[in-house]
Amino acid sequence: MDLKQRIQDMAATLHPEVVGWRRHLHSHPELSFEERETAAYVQAQLEALGLEVQTGIGGHGLVALLRGTAGPSDRVLALRADMDALPITEANEVPYCSQNPGVMHACGHDAHTASLLGTVRILSDLRDQFAGTVKFLFQPAEERLPGGASLMIQDGALQAPEVEAILGQHVQPYLDAGKIGVRSGMYMASADEIHLRVIGKGGHAAHPAHFIDPVMITAQMLVSLQQVISRSDPRIPAILSFGRVEALGATNIIPEEVKVAGTLRCLDETKRHAALEQIRRIVHQVAEMYGGRAELDLKLGYPVLHNDEALTARSRARIADYVGEENVVDLDIWMAAEDFAWYTQEIPGCFYRLGTRNEARGIIHGLHTPRFDIDEDALALSTGLMAWLAIQELQGA
């Protein structure tokens, strides 16, 4: 029996246990930076396999090492799964529904964690088939700034031994179960938050000459800010959107201030930082021009997620070998953000998508929604595929 078939058979055999892990995690979700019980559960599974586990990495993160025995090698590959849930009340009526009110695994991190535990099991049983080291990163706090990935990096998760490349996967409810989505190069956007306070001098709306109208200043400011994107390089996608404008005046009251909140998303780090500087300049210039002032708070979020071209090309070919070319989907760019991007800023990375949709079973709801769920049949594919990619990458096959 060849190695690929062996891995596929192992994943099929392990599938009920992986489903059980996923359902346990789904029933007991924990928010970002609060994943204590989740981390303890994962640690117990890892230690049952005899792995040494580092705890408290980047918060409640875990790092475990598995060394292949097929020969000497200094190569180190990391595999990552995130563990946190979202502040959403689950609307699904399933036996494994969340038992923590107001908290839900609505982004599939329970599936990511269970899948990686399955991959650990397979690779542990196949350690004689590869040389080198696999470093497993079970990461906290993907959903909240500054992102658990950045904190794990700060705590040395990519060092001792030094990681040369990293793979990660994420469920995708817009792809049918059995499909794998891949994109090389720029894939997911940076995401920065814009919090703005425009300050004027309020008063009776019948006497505008006596006051400084922050509503008018804000209107001019928002129009001017659109030039940050409309007059930039159109070959590099970027979005500047404002989703909240709060002016607590009335029909006959000019307010003292206006509060604005928005987001900047880019697919290039140079363009991103140039746009942020333009935003700073425009905000203060427009406010000063009309006699007001502005307080601007730019909260830097996750950077651009760039899939390394060489690693992704190798991975795509191996994915096609494992699932069949007809089941590989070439993805478009996505303007959402992911803190896996922090890893790709440090080392070559490949972040791919696992199809989890099944219309016949009514599994059609999007990420971050109260009715999100996955076709659990996809967990056999996710578990075996990552093991296959890891061995192939370490072998250089």
**Catalytic residue ranges:** 84, 142
User: What's CA 326's distance to the chain center, in Å?
Assistant: 26
What region, left, alpha or beta, does residue 185 occupy, with left being phi > 0 and alpha being psi -120 to 50 degrees? left
Q: For residues 284 and 263, what is the distance between their CA atoms, to the nearest angstrom?
A: 18
**Residues 317, 322, 327, CA angle at the centre, nearest 5°?**
80
**Regarding beta strands 192-199 and 293-299, do their DSSP bridges make them parallel or antiparallel, or are they unpaired?**
antiparallel
First to last CA, the chain: 18
Q: How far is CA 254 from the centre of its chain?
A: 42
Provide the Cα torsion 318, 323, 326, 330; round to 10°: -50
CB 263 within 8 A of CB 335: no
Measured distance CA(45)–CA(146) in Å, rounded: 28
Q: Which two tokens stand for residue 193?
A: 């938050």
> How many beta carbons lie within 10 A of that of residue 242, not counting itself?
16
Take residue 394 and report the two structure tokens written for it: 């370490």
30 near 103, Cβ under 8 Å? yes
Contact between 172 and 181 (Cβ < 8 Å): yes
Here the tokens at position 245 are 């404008």
User: Residue 170 is encoded by which pair of tokens?
Assistant: 């994420």
CB of 305 closer than 8 Å to CB of 351: yes
